């Protein structure tokens, strides 16, 4: 049974590379052809073959999976049924059919209990953690992965290879929850465990799991923006995979390096992605080769070589079609659609984007459906099919609102869960302290008078210590609760602001495209009938009506501009600030001056909109409340930050009374600065004006 234990665990975690197994698989297939082996051996052999072909040949995988299933159930082999379920779990997880995968997982939990094999239960719980991660239930995924981690660490029979892989998976879950300290601690533990493996016995596996730990560390540093350390660890992984001849994972590491270099050093990026592409092509691993081809196409597209980009994208598409990876197919179709749109081939672009949309609908991938609808509306507008374009745009906006609300709901639920957990932890600490107290009292009555005296003293010390610990932990958990409540408030304010901005944009478009267009049409009709209504014109009705239409058009343009300035959408933040300063200066008695220092400005639309709204709020306060005569807008940037200074020479206020003056306008400014992870400094004195200094980190 010990052999079965290792076979199962190595299959679950897929440690053997395709290159090292290929020779073994040939031998196994020859053994199966002879047929002179027991039913149990046939099950195990077909099982190994199925796992080998899982990323290589889907038809061969299904053949061996079905063989395991038929032999196991015809011979009533409990182990075979368990392995059959495991293969079905792998099959359905790969196809993203998660409901079916969950059914087999729960079947295997029962079978693991019946077989009374700790390793089988650990492997099944590991699969359950993977499932929970795929459906974005990260807290549940961590719960089950932690159970596997604790079981494996306490089991002396668990091989370091299996423990290592569990630790890396758990680290990835913590990384996805932004707990980078915990993730890095686990990755370093995995790297340490790799050094414990006997080099003579399992040299290849030692290199593999050490490389996996290095890959994970590199990925973490890449996420937090430390590219130099990320490159260092990825290159460490490359060297280790070369020694173990694990070309599948070697290809992944090369692709990751290509991704890091893509923006800064396109030639280096092309070098590494070509390395990844060559290895995946030799390896005959369709999944890996498909994604390498996709990224190679992306890089050539960045280098404005559309011919090569299309070549590699179509090569990736062929792979994804054979593997029935619908979302991956849709991603390629969307890329081709965007490229054809850039080249002015709108019919081809629309065909590709329709294909992508249908694929995303089949998989119910909401983000993909939104992206395809958004692109479709642009293409239809280019083709002059405005009604269809407007319909697609409305559909994408409705879906985006739904997605934003869903993300908000998920964040609120996560914070609420953490909030409830912190409260439960506080209650548990109190209960444990009470139990300690009761146990100590019982011990006092059992001992002799002398022993009782000693125990009483010990109890006093222990109770004092327990009380101190309880007080400290209660304070810590109280702080946690306060922090979570603050996060919840910030999240609610953020959602409100984002909703306001979305609604501003929608109203602006409706005013400009709907009412504005209608007024223009009405005015055109008035011009056409001018000659026919000479008598009416003499009565001054025509001129008055025409004047009212002009006023209505101007008002629509003014409201639309206030909701979403055209300069911001078309020319960027710098132009929008200068336009705002010019408008304020001409419309009010207050003298407004804008100073733009340097040419650098935020690239993402959200940061631009938030900064523009901050300037609007501050200028509004200066006009309405400060009665300022002069107002300064100064925008500049350094290597790491954007700086915004807003000053007026108005009434000012007492800085010590700031909390009492914290009106809606100032709250809005503070909230937007917090959403940009920035810092707001307020300097004000009565009669000497107000100065806001804002520092926003660059993304």
Q: What is the 3-state secondary structure (H, E, C) of 204-250?
A: HHHHHHHHHHHHHHHHHHHHCCCHHHHHHHHHHHHHHHHHHCCHHHH
Q: How confident is the model at residue 504 (pLDDT cuts 50, 70, 90)?
A: low
End-to-end CA distance of the chain: 54
Contact between 575 and 608 under an 8 Å Cβ cutoff? The reply is no
- 420-450 residues labelled b (16+ CB within 10 A) or e (exposed): eebeebbeebeeebeebeeebeeeeeeeeee
Q: CA–CA distance from 60 to each of 53, 92, 666 (Å)?
A: 6, 16, 65
**Residue-wise pLDDT tens digits, 114-125:** 888 777 888 888
Residues 6+ apart with CB under 8 A from 287: 55, 319, 323, 325
Give CA–CA dist 78/115, Å, rounded.
Answer: 8
Q: How confident is the model at residue 615 (pLDDT cuts 50, 70, 90)?
A: very high
Give CA–CA dist 26/509, Å, rounded.
Answer: 64
Among the listed residues 603, 638, 608, 628, the one whose alpha carbon sits nearest the alpha carbon of residue 692: 628
Mean pLDDT on 86-92:
85
Distance of CA 310 to the CA centre of its chain: 28
Q: CA–CA distance from 369 to each of 350, 366, 386, 591 (Å)?
A: 14, 5, 20, 48
The better pLDDT of the pair 14, 550 is held by: 550
Give CA–CA dist 653/626, Å, rounded.
Answer: 9
Give CA–CA dist 552/179, Å, rounded.
Answer: 54
Task: List 480's β-bridge partners, or say none.
Answer: none
The SS3 of residue 548 is: helix
Give CA–CA dist 167/183, Å, rounded.
Answer: 9
Give CA–CA dist 597/212, Å, rounded.
Answer: 46
Give CA–CA dist 552/558, Å, rounded.
Answer: 10
Other Cβ atoms within 10 Å of 557 Cβ, number: 15
**Residue-wise pLDDT tens digits, 37-80:** 788 888 888 888 887 777 567 788 888 888 888 888 898 988 88
Q: Is 662 exposed, middle or buried (0-12, 13-18, 19+ CB in 10 A)?
A: exposed
pTM over the 0.85 mark: no
Residues 6+ apart with CB under 8 A from 48: 7, 11, 24, 25, 28
The SS3 of residue 648 is: strand
Contact between 579 and 562 under an 8 Å Cβ cutoff? The reply is no
The better pLDDT of the pair 532, 6 is held by: 532
Among the listed residues 248, 255, 193, the one whose alpha carbon sits nearest the alpha carbon of residue 218: 255
**Residue-wise pLDDT tens digits, 167-202:** 988 998 998 888 889 999 998 898 888 777 665 444
Task: List 696's β-bridge partners, or say none.
Answer: 642
Highest mean pLDDT among 418-427, 468-477, 574-583: 574-583
Contact between 516 and 553 under an 8 Å Cβ cutoff? The reply is yes
SS3 content of the chain, % helix, strand, coil (to 5): 80, 5, 15
Residue 545 falls in which region: left (phi positive, over 0), alpha (psi -120 to 50) or beta: alpha
Q: How confident is the model at residue 4 (pLDDT cuts 50, 70, 90)?
A: very low
The SS3 of residue 117 is: coil
Taking the C-alpha atoms of 282, 284, 288 and 290 in order, what is their torsion angle to the nearest 10 degrees? 100
Please compute, for residue 239, the number of CA atoms within 13 A of its CA located in the half-sphere on the CB side.
7
Considering only the C-alpha atoms of the chain, give the largest distance between any 2 of them, rounded to a whole number of Å. 121
**Residue-wise pLDDT tens digits, 299-346:** 888 888 888 889 889 888 988 898 888 888 889 899 998 888 888 889
The SS3 of residue 448 is: coil
Structure tokens at 126: 């590991």
- Give residue 201's pLDDT: 47
Give CA–CA dist 181/598, Å, rounded.
Answer: 37
Q: How confident is the model at residue 223 (pLDDT cuts 50, 70, 90)?
A: confident
- Give residue 646's pLDDT: 93
Give CA–CA dist 608/577, Å, rounded.
Answer: 10
Contact between 221 and 183 under an 8 Å Cβ cutoff? The reply is no
Instruction: Give just the sign of the alpha carbon dihedral 684, 685, 687, 688.
Output: negative
Distance of CA 145 to the CA centre of its chain: 20
Structure tokens at 439: 């146990």
- Give residue 631's pLDDT: 94
> What is the rounded average pLDDT for all residues in the chain?
76
- Give residue 648's pLDDT: 93
- Give residue 430's pLDDT: 55
Q: How confident is the model at residue 6 (pLDDT cuts 50, 70, 90)?
A: very low
Contact between 298 and 335 under an 8 Å Cβ cutoff? The reply is yes
Q: Domains in the chain and their CATH numbers?
A: 1-156 (1.25.40.10), 159-245 (1.25.40.10), 253-320 (1.25.40.10), 570-697 (3.30.565.10)
Residue 279 has pLDDT above 80, yes or no: no
Give the residue ranges of DSSP H helices in 245-345: 247-264, 266-283, 286-302, 306-323, 326-342
Please compute, for residue 444, the number of CA atoms within 13 A of its CA located in the half-sphere on the CB side.
13
């Amino acid at each position: 049974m010990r052999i079965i234990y290792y076979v199962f665990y190595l299959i679950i975690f897929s440690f053997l590379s395709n290159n090292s197994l290929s020779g073994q698989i040939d031998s196994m297939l020859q053994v199966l052809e002879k047929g002179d082996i027991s039913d149990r051996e046939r099950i195990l052999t077909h099982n190994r073959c199925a796992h080998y072909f899982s990323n290589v040949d889907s038809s061969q995988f299904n053949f061996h999976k079905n063989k395991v299933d038929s032999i196991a159930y015809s011979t009533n082999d409990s182990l075979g049924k368990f392995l059959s379920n495991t293969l079905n779990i792998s099959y359905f997880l790969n196809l993203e059919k998660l409901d079916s995968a969950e059914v087999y997982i729960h079947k295997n939990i029962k079978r693991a209990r019946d077989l009374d094999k700790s390793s089988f239960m650990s492997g099944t719980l590991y699969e359950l953690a993977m499932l929970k991660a795929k459906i974005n239930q990260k807290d549940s995924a961590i719960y089950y992965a932690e159970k596997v981690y604790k079981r494996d660490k306490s089991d002396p029979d668990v091989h370091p290879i299996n423990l290592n892989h569990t630790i890396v998976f758990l680290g990835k879950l913590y990384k996805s929850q932004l707990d980078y300290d915990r993730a890095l601690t686990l990755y370093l533990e995995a790297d340490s465990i790799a050094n414990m493996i006997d080099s003579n016995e399992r040299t290849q596996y030692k290199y593999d799991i050490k490389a996996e730990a290095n890959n994970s560390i590199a990925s973490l540093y890449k996420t937090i923006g430390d590219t130099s350390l990320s490159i260092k660890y990825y290159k460490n992984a490359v060297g280790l995979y070369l020694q173990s001849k694990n070309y599948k994972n070697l290809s992944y590491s090369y692709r990751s390096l290509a991704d890091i270099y893509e923006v800064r050093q396109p030639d280096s990026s092309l070098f590494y992605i070509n390395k990844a592409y060559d290895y995946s092509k030799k390896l005959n691993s369709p999944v890996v080769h498909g994604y390498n081809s996709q990224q190679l196409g992306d890089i050539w597209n960045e280098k404005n070589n559309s011919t090569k980009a299309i070549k590699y994208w179509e090569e990736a598409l062929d792979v994804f079609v054979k593997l029935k990876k619908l979302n991956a197919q849709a991603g390629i179709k969307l890329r081709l659609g965007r490229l054809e749109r850039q080249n002015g081939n709108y019919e081809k672009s629309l065909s590709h984007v329709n294909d992508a949309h249908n694929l995303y609908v089949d998989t119910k991938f909401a983000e993909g459906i939104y992206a395809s609808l958004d692109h479709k509306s642009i293409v239809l507008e280019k083709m002059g099919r405005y009604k269809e374009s407007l319909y697609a745009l409305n559909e994408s906006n409705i879906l985006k609102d739904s997605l934003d609300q869903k993300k908000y709901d998920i964040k609120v639920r996560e914070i609420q869960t953490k909030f409830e957990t912190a409260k439960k932890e506080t209650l548990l600490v109190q209960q444990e302290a009470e139990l300690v107290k009761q146990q100590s009292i019982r011990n006092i009555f059992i001992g002799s008078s002398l022993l009782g005296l000693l125990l009483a003293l010990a109890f006093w010390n222990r109770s004092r210590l327990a009380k101190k610990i309880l007080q400290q932990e209660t304070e810590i958990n109280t702080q946690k609760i306060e922090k979570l409540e603050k996060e919840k408030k910030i999240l609610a304010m953020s959602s409100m602001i984002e909703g306001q901005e979305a609604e501003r944009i929608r109203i602006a478009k409706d005013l400009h495209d709907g009412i504005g267009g209608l007024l223009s049409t009405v005015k055109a009709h008035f011009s056409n009938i001018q000659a026919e209504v000479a008598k009416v014109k003499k009565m001054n009705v025509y001129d008055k009506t025409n004047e009212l239409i002009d006023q209505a058009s101007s008002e629509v343009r003014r409201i639309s501009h206030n909701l979403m300035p055209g300069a911001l959408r078309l020319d960027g933040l710098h132009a929008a600030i200068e336009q705002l300063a010019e408008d304020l200066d001409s419309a009010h008695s207050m003298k407004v001056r804008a100073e733009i220092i340097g040419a650098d400005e935020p690239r993402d639309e959200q940061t631009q909109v938030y900064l523009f709204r901050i300037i609007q709020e501050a200028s509004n306060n200066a006009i309405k409340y400060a009665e300022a005569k002069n107002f300064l807008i100064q925008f500049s940037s350094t290597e790491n930050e954007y700086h915004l200074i807003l000053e007026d020479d108005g009434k000012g206020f007492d800085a010590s009374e700031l909390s009492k003056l914290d009106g809606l306008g100032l709250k809005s400014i503070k909230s937007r600065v917090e959403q940009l992870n920035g810092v707001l400094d307020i300097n004000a004195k009565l009669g000497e004006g107000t100065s806001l200094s804002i520092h926003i980190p660059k993304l």
